[in-house]
Structure 1
Amino acid sequence: MQPSIKQISKVLFDMDPMQTCCKENACFDEYDFVAKQIYQNMETGLSFKHSTLLVLTRLFDAEQAQRADLSAIESALFKKF
């Protein structure tokens, strides 16, 4: 089963892998666009990790995207459902 856009966004918000300070600033929708892009990539058959890395690299700094703990994000997401 594939996670929803809302579930992906919530995990990204909670973990804030790109260090946007979204939690501190109560920007609950900070990762909504990112989550939508990840979801769409997964719909084409890409894995969660690959999709997430592609999206984070495209939308943020590539070096920072490489430092994101994709395994931890994936574990947190797939524990939720």
Structure 2
Amino acid sequence: MPTPSELSALMFHADPMGTCCRENDAFDEYDRIAFELAERLEEGEISDVALHAVLSEWFDDDLVERADLAGVIEALESVSTRTGESP
């Protein structure tokens, strides 16, 4: 299972919500989101469902629906596969 730290780094680099965290060196931009996402994944939620749910708690639903989350979901599934877990 990916750790909150791994998830935060993944989202920092992908910046799915377009917060400009990379440009501003805001390395902790997605820390709280990553923590909640890790909890949901640990509870067995599917990657894309968990990601959408957590982002919707932090951002407007319309923003989440317009965000390109495919790369983040793919990376989540890749990290989960490397650790031997189901995404």
1:5-49 per-position Cα deviation (integer Å, ceiling 9, x unaligned):
111111100010111110011000000000000011111110111
Counterpart for residue 65 of structure 1: 64
Counterpart for residue 44 of structure 1: 43
Instruction: Quote the offset at 1:79 in angstroms.
Output: 5.5
Q: Which segments of 5 or more consecutive residues in structure 2 lack a partner in the other structure?
A: 83-87
Task: Give the TM-score normalised by structure 2.
Answer: 0.82
Instruction: Quote the offset at 1:76 in angstroms.
Output: 2.6
C-alpha RMSD over aligned residues: 1.7
Instruction: Quote the offset at 1:72 in angstroms.
Output: 1.3
4+ long deviations beyond 4 Å: none
Taking the aligned partners of 1:12 and 1:53, their CA distance within structure 2 comes to 13
Contact persistence 2:55–2:64 (CA under 8 A): yes
| Pairing of 1:1-16 with structure 2 (within 5 A) | 2-16=1-15
- Letter of the aligned partner of 1:37 in structure 2? E
